[in-house]
Amino acid sequence: MRATHQEEVPARGREVSQTVIRAAGLCKSYGKTRALENVSFEVLRGEVFGYLGPNGAGKTTTINIFCGLLQRDSGDATLCGADVARDPVFVKQQIGVVPEESNLYPELSCRRNLEFLGELYGMPRAARRRRADELLQTFGLAEKGAAPFRTLSRGMKRRLTVAAALMHSPEVLLLDEPTAGLDVPSARALRSLIKTFNKDGTTVFLSTHNLAEAESLCDRVLILDKGRLVAIGTAAEVRQRVQAAKVISVVFSGNVTEHSLRSGCPAVLSASCAEGRWRLEVNDIHSALAQLVSLAEKEFVEVVEIATAIGTLEDAFVTLLAKNPPGGQPC
């Protein structure tokens, strides 16, 4: 069992190979719908582990199984060495859960919400007051301690919800779309806080479909689609496992339409334009370059800037999902 909040927490970066979360052949169905199909993975102590997938992929179902809200149909699910179904009390002591929608009491003050959760976890009064003050300060909510939860902005509500999940200093933090719906400053502040607590030793299981967020935060990622594991590894490893799409970035001096690009450049597989810059996925770089120069002459424009671009985790994600028909095998 994890040390209490008064005790020293192992620092991130220490050589620890212990598995904290383990799924083996995990299956779950809702009627005829297979939400999870033979999903297996391990999360090591101190990791930020990204659990990625489109809406309906099975991400929330997985979190609900590990926090005891759902029973699996088959397979194994263990957390800190305990079976999540057979030892639910122990498991709940090890986890802090941040659901997609904040679940604190709207009529209670910020401080009272935190202290009430401390009571539920059996923390002594003095300890829970100290911890509540510490978290309010850390999350930039010290001045909102007496304010009812319902009066907070959406960003503040999300911060307090994460703070509440950390009240009892859990071993594992389960986050379900923590920055969904937040403005850019609020999302950035929350990501910074997640990094801080991870550096202090908390293992983070991050469910998200924000791929840029996952790439910046996560040590490893798993891509889930239609309830099946599609790929797992570091972001770099996942990109490398894909037959990486060849990407060209190009700026023309005048107007060029997507229709003219596709008709005049057979090597172009897909095209998108933002603020005058085209992003082209091509099947062959050399053919595409020659075709683009020829197209520019035909359209009476110049190629102002052209460069090959590095594929992102998002590129790999889209490619992997396209390669994942029902019944397919993980890459």
How far apart, in whole angstroms, are the C-alpha atoms of residue 282 and residue 267?
Answer: 5
- 72-117: pLDDT as tens digits: 999 999 999 999 999 999 999 999 999 988 889 999 999 999 999 9
pLDDT at 326: 56
Tokens 């301690």 locate to 145
Tokens 């998108």 locate to 272
Low-confidence ranges of the chain (pLDDT < 50): 1-17, 328-331
pLDDT at 319: 75
CATH 3.30.70.1560 fits 245-310, yes or no: yes
Residues near 257 by beta carbon (within 8 Å), at least 6 away in sequence: none
| Separation in Å, CA 294 to CA 180, 260, 280, 289 | 44, 12, 16, 9
| CATH no., domain 19-240 | 3.40.50.300
Pinpoint the residues of the chain covered by CATH 3.30.70.1560.
Answer: 245-310
Q: What phi-psi label fits residue 27: left (phi over 0), alpha (psi between -120 and 50 degrees) or beta?
A: beta
pLDDT at 181: 85
| pTM, rounded to two decimals | 0.74
Structure-block tokens of residue 201 = 């030793």
pLDDT at 207: 94
pLDDT at 291: 94
Dihedral of alpha carbons 13, 48, 81, 134, sign: positive
pLDDT at 65: 96
The residue type of 248 is I
- 275-300: pLDDT as tens digits: 899 989 888 888 999 999 999 999 99
| Separation in Å, CA 224 to CA 40, 76, 317 | 11, 18, 10
Looking only at the bridges linking them, the beta strands covering 172-176 and 95-98 are parallel
How far apart, in whole angstroms, are the C-alpha atoms of residue 220 and residue 234?
Answer: 4
Helix (H) or strand (E) holding 194: helix 184-199
pLDDT at 3: 39
Pinpoint the residues of the chain covered by CATH 3.40.50.300.
Answer: 19-240
